[in-house]
């Protein structure tokens, strides 16, 4: 999945897709082309919005939470110019995000639905693409923005029937 010999701490724009475990419909549903987040989906959304507080070198761009996955674009700043003591990679960001989502979801379930077994939330890995130019970022932004309206033709679509 990763480019061999590529430095994923390198400054630049990245497009990432993270799927739920077994593509379960955990985060809400699509209603007339609009994503309706459930409480787990809201947590997933809010934790993504919080990423720059944990990683100040990350600038968020477009993102959307879908019923069983998340698409996001973010920009990693030049770490040589930052005051960070450790180098941060795309994998570090995704790993921390997934971990924080699980933590907050478990907290919510324990408090609000203690008889519920949450189970695994995320698939083991993620997809990423290094965005190479402005045209590509524009195309990916459009894809992310319109993803809910194209849910039934999405390769990650899972029918509820």
CATH number for position 33:
3.30.70.1290
pLDDT in tens, the chain (161 residues): 678 889 999 999 999 999 999 999 999 999 999 999 999 999 999 999 999 999 999 999 999 999 999 999 999 999 888 777 789 999 999 999 999 999 999 999 999 988 888 889 999 999 999 999 999 999 999 999 999 998 877 777 776 64
**What total of structural domains would you count in the chain?**
1
Question: Is 91 inside any structural domain?
Answer: yes
Residue-number span of the structural domain to which 137 is assigned: 12-148
Question: Is 1 inside any structural domain?
Answer: no
Helix axis angle for 39-49 and 90-112, nearest 10°, is: 140
Question: Is 7 inside any structural domain?
Answer: no
48 in Cβ contact with 27 (< 8 Å): no
Question: Is 35 inside any structural domain?
Answer: yes
Question: Is 93 inside any structural domain?
Answer: yes
The CA distance from 122 to 93, in Å, is 15
Question: Is 153 inside any structural domain?
Answer: no
16 in Cβ contact with 94 (< 8 Å): yes
């Amino acid at each position: 999945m990763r480019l061999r010999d590529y430095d994923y701490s390198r400054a630049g724009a990245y497009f990432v897709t993270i799927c739920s475990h077994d593509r379960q419909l955990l985060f809400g549903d699509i209603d007339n082309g609009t994503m309706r987040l459930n409480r787990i989906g809201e947590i997933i959304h809010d934790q993504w919005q919080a990423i720059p507080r944990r990683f100040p070198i990350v600038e968020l761009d477009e993102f959307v939470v879908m019923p069983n996955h998340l698409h996001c674009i973010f920009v990693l700043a030049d770490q040589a110019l930052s005051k960070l003591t450790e180098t941060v990679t795309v994998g570090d960001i995704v790993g921390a995000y997934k971990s924080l989502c699980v933590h907050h979801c478990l907290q919510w379930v324990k408090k609000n639905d203690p008889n519920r077994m949450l189970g695994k939330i995320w698939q083991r890995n993620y997809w990423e693409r290094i965005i190479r130019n402005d045209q590509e970022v524009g195309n990916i932004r459009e894809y992310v923005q319109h993803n809910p309206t194209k849910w039934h033709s999405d390769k990650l679509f899972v029918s509820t029937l």
